[in-house]
Chains A and B, each alone.
Chain A
Amino acid sequence: MDSPILLLLALLVALVQCFSDDYHSHNSTRHHDYCVLGAGPAGLQMGHFLSKSQRDYIILERNSGPGSFFNIYPRHRKLISINKIYTGRRNREFNLRHDWNSLLSDRPDLLLQRVSRELYPDADSFPRYLSMYVKELGLKVQYGVDIGKIRASESESPRGRGYILTDQRGLDYTCRVLLVSTGLWDPQKVQFEGSDLVEGYESIPVDPEEYKDQAVLILGKGNSAFETAQSILGRASRIHLYSPSPVRLAWQTHYVGDLRAVNNELLDTYQLKSLDGLVEGGLEDIAIIRNGEDEKKRSGRKKKCRSSGKEKRGKLFLTLSELLDSSDGKNSSKVTATNLPVYHNDNFSLRQPYDRVIRCLGFRFNFSIFDGSARPPSSEGARGRLPGVTAWYEGRGTPDLFVLGTAAHSRDYRSSAGGFVHGFRYTVRAVHRVLELRYHSNSWPSIKLSISQLQSWLLRRVNEASGPYQMFGVLGDIILLRGSHCEYLEEFPLQALPQFSSLSGHQLSKHGLLVLVLQYGLNRTDSLGPGRAESEWTRAWRSNFLHPVLYYYDKLPTERDMRHRPVGWPLPRPKAVHHMIEDFLTEWDGPISHSQPLRRFLEHCLHTDLRAFYAESCFRFSLTNRKPPLFCRQGYLRKHGVVRNRQLWQHAHEAGLMLGGQDSASPDTDPAFPDYLTQAGASVSSAINLDF
């Protein structure tokens, strides 16, 4: 009974949408401040922030629904991004550390777990989730607009240069700011002799039965290659994976783009001698040739050599292009004895022919839709597959054009999570904050904290923040020190630190700044071997697992500093650095191992005593010091001191930490140096207490 109504409702919604779309297309200008290209996760994420800040924006999508990439990929329909529903915690921010699929929003329940309860969800659930996201947040997405050409507008309008997008119907969209979140769609291909004989990951059959008793050569050793291998493992006779570099295991490199353990069954079968294997070798100098020339001849002897014919006919041989050249220029693609490596090297690993060769080499950014005036250059890293962007994700040489999502991965390729939903949802937020300042003069959101609260605030971030946790080494919290208070800015792109003021709208004071980063240890250790974890806080700098690191600078690092930073460091050498010891539970709240070393570091940077004191101690300090400790000034002297109860008094007294009194020398007069205070006045409070 419900469904017809629902259907009706959906129709109605569609109709209304059509209507509004129609209305839009009739609008002669079709101008928007922000055009978001592509309604994938990054585009929608940006859409949310734009809609939240009530900007004039449109998301243009060529397909009929959001996240259409996920309608096709991954081909074997299992997402390998973690959807951990149960963390034992109810802290939403903390839980996002273990939810790799959901997008950021203000709605506590707008998470992927509403669609799927699986740890590795079915791929279909992701577009479903995105549709839900669009609907619930009322994002403005225009489907069916296939932008084929993007050019920078010639006229220098006072509002900036802007971009003109032309869709398949020849309609133009003018945008002041273009946000490219088109993702990576073009399969990465390598040209070699016989590359036309190779099937692509995008088009291979996914039914394992089609591979029954076949020998398969897969080019590539990434997740798609292993995913393909894993699906046919039970049917194919032999699976070989071939690519230039050896396999990188995600759990060793901490990079989620490397081979995930979810997909690595083939490693098991390889090393347990089950006819599968990995081979390293260049892709450019190979050739694939088909044994099909003498088909007729063989068919004549069909009855005689049935078995051998069946074995050899139409089979694909891997050889080297140089072998083809040397023998015979014209008939190079023929299978002859001398064309095959085995002729020259009788134990050549890949000497047996294959039934299929499959290319699983990943994807590249589609540069072709950009006119020369609007085309960002190819990135230096990632084999030029991605557009080159600045540290704040603006295309290099294309002002007002920002690249979001997977396509923006060149900044942290092979190091962090910027190419994945759980990473770029935060970088998109950072880009949005940059936009807000640049085009609307809203500076980076910040929280003003009193310095005495900084320590617990840092611990709070360290214990729950998901942004720096997911985008480790890329996004970090910036704390601008301002004497007795500080400004706390969350999740700033670290590489953009030299441009901090112009990107955030905040000025640095002479007191300098702190940067809170989460990072893995730089010493590559055996991820599972002994001694992999450090537990002694005094040796926190040797931590290997993800742990918080604080950098203190008295002035902003320059671009030069940034370029010359030590290899593997997210930031240049600071004035002082503090590693918080890695924690097995990622809970950094131990008083001795975490809090106190952190406090001492802050004291060192701020040149002030940050300890807390009971009211009695504050009273004494107030009388005996020109400047009582900060905690007393910000608490006690504002009538907000901490009164000990009997039990705690007893403890503090036993610990010999309470100050003042009759017969002891008073502590050193300068409260800025707590070291002296430690031992001083042990017997003090007892004297007073007895007097009472």
Chain B
Amino acid sequence: MAWFICVIILLLCSKSEQCTTGNASKLIEHTAAHFFEKMQSGKMYFIYFGKQVNPTIGLFIEQLEKSADVLEDYGISVAKVNCTNEHIAKYCTGEKLMKKVYLFRGGNVLKSFDTDTVFDVNAIVAHVLFTVLFDEVRYVHTIAELQSVERAAKGKADIVLGHVQVLGLPEHRALMETAFVYGVKYQFVLTTGGPVLTNMGVDDISSLTAGLWFLHCKGASQSQHSDPCPHTALRRALTTLHIYTFLQLMEAPLVSEASVEPSEVNMVHSHLQVPLLFLFSQPHTVALDRVTAQTLAWRLRGQVGLVLIHRESPDVKIPLEYNAAYRLPGEGSEVKYLILNNLEEVIDLFRDESTPEEEEEDDDNWATLDVLDDEVAESVYRDRGQSLDMDAVTELTADTFHSTVAESDYTVVLFYVKWDAVSMAFMQSYIEVSESLEDADVSDVELAVLDCGEWTDVCSAQKIRSFPTVRLYRPQEPSQPYQGMLGTESVNRFIMLSRLVSPVLLSSPDEVTSFLEGDLYQRHAAIAPVTVLGLFSSTADAGVPVFKEAAKALRGETMVGLFADRQAEIWAVEYSVTLPAILVSRGPTGQTEAHSLNLCMPDQLVTHIQRALLDTFSIQPSIEKCGQRAGQQAASEKRMIAKKAATVINGGHSAHLMKVHMDQIQTLKTEIESLKAHQQKEKHYLRAEIRATADALVQSQLALMESRAVNDTVEEGEERDGVTIHARHTCELWNSTSDRQTQHTIPFKCLGSLRNVLVFERKAIFLCPFKMASN
């Protein structure tokens, strides 16, 4: 026994490689004469003949050196012969790179290996030992082969069946090392998968990379020819230590009996770090208890040691209520007493003990599955205790829907289903809208909701295809869908804007001025910071009805004015456009842009105006390189660059623009950095610029995204729309999500965190040399 342990310790040491570091390598370099002399000695040699060394061979020699120490323990010397100096016929071939290793015994080649097969220490040891033990370790593939081995072994020896999916891995080595030591005692059998495993009760063969079974054939009677030997599986990883422990356990008696206190029982199991299970027996039930213990022992074999303790002995002082106890391995671990009612409980006990991690993992899995991972659903779910104040809105039914819609000047209807989290999240904002409408003293708007889960007919008739849907109904008019953000402020703005007459008919130049930046503008500036004015030379212009139609469609989005008069020419000249045209006004402080109109269909005009409503930018030809403008750049110039990039991206999907894209993005990043540097001085002034820059960034991202998604034809169309409308939208997001008072600072903060997001992002697209910029 001591010898075994010694070997094991040796093996362990050599494996951990700590013992070998510092020692000189045991790899011998042979000369030709030396080689022939050794060959005669009858010892085993593992020799590599080499000439040139390339990195692969270099690595191999390194591994060969390591294996020298290990193989020495098995009486195998490892050597190499340098064929450039020495020439040994047959082995030193003419090739430059030699990839063969030979195993010699007494001058004969046992086997040759390719260096690719014996690629590291584990592989070398495994393969060499496998060859050496060729006669002792049987290789089986089919069930019939295994059965014949079993038949031969019955009554004589136990069988150790090892399975490795691939030869040359650490598991294979561990198995071979064990076989080397125990080869005389047990019949070792190796398999690399296949039907044999199904015999061992493995369900999923492909998922099992390695395994070991102990087949109790020695005790099995020879007469029962066809019966397979009972087997026990090693339930741990295939390492030398585990196999050793396992084999020791297999040797230990199935059930031991004792007449002392459990704490005093001393068995091989405690050295092997295996828990012990004690069953307490009474004189009159001894026979039964033994059967129980046997059954249990078979079930727990290899995992737990079983001891039957005779209670009647005066040394045993166990409280009578307990019938079992167990002791976990480890110094001074306590004996735990239990009352067990059936076998399964006991088995579960140790199953839990032995695989606590797996169990937990499983539980975790289900537990996390029970948690909502959708932020909208979760926040709504967390709010389930709060009942919504549905009194604030009108709850429509199939009976009241049509009458309500017909009666009110404006009916805004939210179509929802209660199992849709987004609907329910938005419902809260929607109810807040009703409050703000009340505050604003708006009485001609009926704010209503309709549950499509109940009034399914109405929703089908209204062709509601998504939830939530918000529609504005005006009597005698087709309904208008609301397509803006699902938030209080946006809906509120939509409603307020929808109540305005559209287009506002202007009759004099004064009114036009007022509309663009004067009183008329100011009155609605809060809800319509950007207004659109259509200029026509006369009311008879064919475009006027089209424009009016478009203005109707744009209700709720912006304020649209119409000035159809000869005097419109003045503005046309001033903004150097030809009539008909539109003016997009951003108030007295902002710019007013002019666009000529190419009037065709109302929807095209709508799209045109929507595009014009976005922040527009001018073009500057040069593209700045990253870092050039560090720090000192004037804010106005940066603004131009940012805008330029955005325009380029905004305007097109053409291929060559995409190519220069990365440069632009980098430029933008630099600009943001330098803008940040200026922020203390020019905070207020820079607000708009930074916002624009960030918008441009988003735009770039989107465009880039699109350029990469060219193949994805399904999505393409959708994203295009996203690109064109996005810039305005981001600003709106910031506006709508922030407090009015702190609005000035928010873009900076956003930008700050934004940058961090980008920096921390592993696959960040906008990686830019920040350090250069901030220097």
Binding site for B on A (CB under 8 A): 89-94, 108, 447-450, 452-453, 456, 459-460, 463-464, 482-484, 538, 588-589, 591-592, 594-597, 599-600, 611-617, 619-620, 622-624, 626-627, 633-635, 637-645, 647-649, 651-652, 654-655, 657-658, 660-666, 669, 674-675, 677-678, 687-688, 691-692
> What are the residues of chain A within 8 A of B729 when measuring CB–CB?
639
- Spell out B's residues near A (CB within 8 Å): 366, 368-383, 386, 397-398, 417-423, 425-426, 428-429, 432, 452-457, 465-467, 483-490, 697-698, 701-702, 704-705, 708-709, 714-715, 718-719, 721-722, 725-726, 729-730, 732-733, 736-739, 742, 746, 749, 752-754, 756-758, 760-765
CB distance from A537 to the nearest CB of B (A): 8
Inter-subunit contact B722/A661 (CB<8 Å): no
Are A648 and B379 in contact, CB atoms less than 8 angstroms apart?
yes
A678 in contact with B368 (CB, 8 Å) = yes
Q: What distance in Å separates the Cβ of A335 from its nearest Cβ neighbour in chain B? A: 64
Given contacts A456-B419, A595-B419, contact A91 B455 (CB under 8 A): yes
Cβ–Cβ contact B753 & A691, under 8 A: yes
User: Are A599 and B757 within 8 A (Cβ)?
Assistant: no
Q: 6 A–B contact pairs at CB < 8 A? A: A456-B420, A459-B420, A596-B377, A642-B426, A648-B383, A692-B742
A432–B715 CA distance with the chains assembled, in angstroms: 35
Q: Which of A596, A619, A620 contacts B372 (CB 8 A)?
A: A596
Q: Are B376 and A92 in contact (CB under 8 A)?
A: no
Residues on A with C-beta less than 8 A from B453 are: 91, 460, 463-464, 589
**Structural contact, B486 and A591, CB atoms closer than 8 A:** no
Q: Is the interface of B mostly helix, strand, loop or mixed?
A: helix
Instruction: Tell me how far the C-beta of B447 lies from the nearest C-beta in chain A, rounded to whole angstroms.
Output: 16
B488 with A638: CB separation less than 8 A = no
Residue of B nearest to A464 (CB): B456
Q: Are A591 and B372 in contact (CB under 8 A)?
A: yes
Partner of B715, one of A456, A484, A622, A645: A484
Task: Specify the chain B residue showing the minimal Cβ separation from A650.
Answer: B379
B461 to chain A, nearest CB (A): 10
B485 x A641 contact (CB < 8 A): yes
CB atoms of B465 and A657 under 8 A apart: no
Which of A90, A660, A662 is the one whose CB lies under 8 Å from B455?
A: A90
Cβ contacts under 8 Å, B467 to chain A: 453, 456
Given contacts A447-B465, A648-B380, contact A643 B421 (CB under 8 A): no
**Contacts known (A620-B757, A637-B719); A644 close to B379, Cβ less than 8 A:** yes
- Bound complex: CA of A597 vs CA of B701, how far in Å? 33
Question: Is the beta-carbon distance between B432 and A645 smaller than 8 angstroms?
Answer: yes
A615 / chain B contacts, CB cutoff of 8 Å = 485, 487, 733, 737
Q: Is B722's CB under 8 angstroms from A633's CB?
A: yes
Chain A residue nearest to B760 in the complex (CB)? A666
Contact status B376-A641, CB under 8 Å: no
CB pair B370 A642 closer than 8 Å: no
B353 to chain A, nearest CB (A): 25
Shortest 3 CB-CB distances between A and B: which pairs? A643-B487, A637-B722, A589-B419
Which partner residue on chain A sits nearest B734 by CB separation?
Answer: A619
Taking CB atoms, residues of chain B closer than 8 Å to A460 are: 417, 452-453, 456
In the complex, the answer to whether B382 meets A655 with C-beta atoms within 8 Å is: yes
Verify A640–B483 contact, CB threshold 8 A. yes
What CA separation (Å) do A168 and B746 show in the bound complex? 88
> Could you tell me the distance in whole angstroms from the C-beta of A676 to the nearest C-beta in chain B?
10
Q: Which residue of B lies closest to A106 (CB)?
A: B457
Closest to B694 in A: A623
CB-defined contacts of B742 to chain A, threshold 8 Å: 692
Q: How long is the Cα–Cα vector from A688 to B709 in the complex, in angstroms? A: 31
**B residues in contact with A620, CB < 8 Å:** 757
Contact B485 A640 (CB under 8 A): yes
Q: Is the CB of B709 within 8 A of A627?
A: yes
Q: Please determine whether B705 and A626 come into contact, CB atoms closer than 8 angstroms.
A: yes
Whether B454 and A91, one on each chain, are in contact in the complex, defined by CB atoms closer than 8 angstroms, is yes
Instruction: Give the number of residue pairs across the A-B interface with Cβ within 8 Å.
Output: 242
* Contact status A662-B756, CB under 8 Å: yes
B721–A614 touching, CB < 8 Å: no
Check B760–A665 contact: CB distance below 8 A. yes
A651 adjacent to B382 (CB under 8 Å): yes
CB neighbours (8 Å) of B701 from chain A are 622-623
CB-based contact B719/A633 at 8 Å: yes
Closest chain A CB from B157 CB (angstroms):
47
Tell me which of B381, B490, B756 contacts A661 (CB under 8 A): B756
CB pair A93 B485 closer than 8 Å:
no
B375 adjacent to A658 (CB under 8 Å): yes
Q: Closest residue of chain B to A660, judged by CB? A: B757
Further pairs besides A641-B486, A644-B379, A660-B753: 4, Cβ < 8 Å: A90-B454, A615-B485, A626-B704, A675-B373
B702 touches A639 (CB 8 A): no
Q: Tell me how far the C-beta of A469 lies from the nearest C-beta in chain B, rounded to whole angstroms.
A: 14
Q: Is the CB of A638 within 8 A of B721?
A: yes
Taking a contact as CB atoms under 8 Å apart, the answer to whether A456 and B377 are in contact is: no
- A453-B467, A638-B721 are contacts. A645–B757 as well, Cβ < 8 Å? no
User: Using Cβ atoms and an 8 Å threshold, which residues of chain A touch B422?
Assistant: 612, 642
Contact between chains at A633 and B715 (CB < 8 Å): yes
**How near does chain B come to A657, taking the closest CB pair, in angstroms?**
4
B380 nearest CB neighbor, chain A only: A648
Taking A611-B374, A612-B374 as contacts, is the C-beta distance between A639 and B483 under 8 angstroms? yes
Query: Contact at B758–A623, with CB atoms within 8 Å?
Result: yes
Given contacts A456-B419, A627-B705, A643-B736, contact A657 B375 (CB under 8 A): yes
A residues less than 8 Å from B704 (CB atoms): 626
Give bound CA distance, A90 to B458, whole Å: 12
| A626→B708 contact, CB < 8 A | yes
Closest to A617 in B: B375
Contacts of B752 in A (CB 8 A): 691
CB A1 to nearest CB in B, in angstroms, measures 33
Given A595-B377, A615-B737, A647-B428, A449 contacting B757 (CB threshold 8 A): no
Cβ–Cβ contact B698 & A623, under 8 A = yes
Q: How far is the CA of A93 from the CA of B453 in the complex (A)?
A: 10
Chain B hits for A92, CB < 8 A:
456-457
Contact assessment for A591 and B373 in the assembled complex, using a CB-CB cutoff below 8 Å: no
For A614, list chain B residues within 8 Å (CB): 375-376
Given contacts A615-B485, A623-B697, A642-B422, A538 and B429 within 8 Å (CB-CB): no
Contact B485–A622 (Cβ < 8 Å) = no
A448 to B702, CA, bound (A): 26
Most buried by B among A464, A639, A644: A639
Which residue in chain A gives the minimum CB-CB distance to B375?
Answer: A657
Separation in Å of the A395 CB from the closest CB of chain B? 34
- Contacts of A622 on B, CB cut-off 8 Å? 698, 701-702
Is the Cβ of B456 less than 8 Å from the Cβ of A91?
yes
A455 CA / B476 CA spacing, docked (Å): 34
Taken together as a complex, chains A and B put the C-alpha atoms of A617 and B374 apart, in Å, by: 11
Bound state CA distance, A660 and B366, in angstroms? 26
Q: How far is the CA of A651 from the CA of B424 in the complex (A)?
A: 14
Residue among A612, A633, A634, A640 making CB contact with B421, cutoff 8 Å: A612
A674 neighbours in B (Cβ, 8 Å): 373
Q: A678 to B484, alpha carbons, bound, how many Å? A: 28
Which of B379, B737, B754 touches A643 (beta carbons < 8 Å)?
Answer: B737
Q: Which of B369, B375, B382, B718 is in CB contact (< 8 Å) with A611?
A: B375
Q: For A637, what are the chain B residues with a Cβ–Cβ distance below 8 Å?
A: 702, 719, 721-722, 726
Give the nearest-CB partner of B370 in chain A.
A592
Q: Flag if B398 contacts A90 (CB, 8 Å).
A: yes
Residues of B within 8 A of A89 (CB): 454
With the chains together, A651 CA to B429 CA distance in Å?
15
Residues of chain B within 8 A of A464, CB atoms compared:
453, 456
- Could you tell me the distance between the alpha carbons of A130 and B708 in the complex, rounded to whole angstroms? 62
How near does chain B come to A638, taking the closest CB pair, in angstroms?
6
| Cα A633 to Cα B722 with chains together (Å) | 8
Measured between C-beta atoms, what is the minimum distance from A389 to chain B in Å? 31
| Complex Cα–Cα for A638 and B726 (A) | 8
- Whether A642 touches B368, Cβ cut-off 8 Å, given contacts A90-B454, A595-B377, A626-B708, is no
> Does A613 lie within 8 Å of B705, measured CB to CB?
no
Q: Contact at B379–A655, with CB atoms within 8 Å?
A: yes
Given contacts A592-B370, A614-B376, A644-B425, contact A619 B733 (CB under 8 A): yes
